[in-house]
Amino acid sequence: MPILPETPAPLPGPLVTGAFRKGPRYHTYREQGTRDWLLILTVGGQGVFRHEQGTTPVTSGDMILLKPNTRHDYATAPGQPHWDLLWAHFMPRAGWLDWLDWPEHAPGVLGLQWAGQERQEKIVRRFRDLIRLNTSPLRLREALAMNALEEIVLWCDLINPRSESARRDRRIRRSLDFISEHLAEPLSVARIAAHCGLSPSRFAHLFRAEMRETPQHYLELQRLNRARQLLEFTQEPVRQIARQVGFENPFYFSLRFKRHSGIGPREWRQRRRGAA
């Protein structure tokens, strides 16, 4: 096998990002890889990753994650006119490694696929946000970009077949999405169950088996968590925040908030502002 020329690696740093549209002769080769992780999302055309187990072709929606010191050998797929990719070299934050435990194509070469146009468009938008933030003139650009990358990693964990969240029953995953998207609306167990195609009793039983809590308790916690975010990061009145998270009665909202937080929403806001 001929010795291939080494492709220069990006300058080292916590996060280096970019977007490429490469032609048919594009090829990157680094025998020893790099010391950081490399995430590549294909958004158009086709590419191919070569490794000791053979080759892994990639097309739109495919994500490849290369571990540190793993050989980089990827190119536009043979016979294809172009390969469009978004990429990020990064050093993971503490706590990310469990989320980066993806299925392996070969040692050090991991992969996931984003099926479904809506989900795929969401992750592509966030990846472009990541690149934009990382190259912006903002003083905190690196921190903001790392937050965007962490969000991408978390979204990937939802489709990772090796993760706990992906092993949940698909109907329960659907119910969690539905609850998140409709927090401000009246939500009964019957309504959520109908969205998932289950009877209320079957849904409640399955939800408790999967989530280790009742749907009502989970819903209330999600509403209160959202309320805390709005209290801390907005100036909106408590009454308005209560409505935004599904409590028509502000007094009842304050009672439930105090039961879970130990203090009322106004005092909680004052303490958070004082600690900032």
Report, in this order, helix, strand and coil percent for the chain, each rounded to 5: 45, 20, 35
Q: Which two tokens stand for residue 261?
A: 């937080």
pLDDT at 13: 74
* Statement: 15-159 belongs to CATH 3.90.550.10: no
pLDDT at 166: 63
Could you count the other beta carbons within 10 Å of the beta carbon of residue 264? 15
pLDDT at 1: 47
Q: Domain residue spans in the chain?
A: 15-159, 170-275
Please name which of 179, 52, 168, 143 lies closest in space to residue 105, comparing C-alpha atoms: 52
Walking along the chain (276 residues) 10 residues at a time, the average pLDDT comes out as 75 87 96 95 96 93 95 96 97 87 93 83 94 92 92 89 74 86 91 95 93 91 87 88 93 93 90 69
pLDDT at 82: 97
Please name which of 259, 274, 212, 214 lies closest in space to residue 247, comparing C-alpha atoms: 259
CATH of domain 170-275: 1.10.10.60
64: β partners: 40, 111
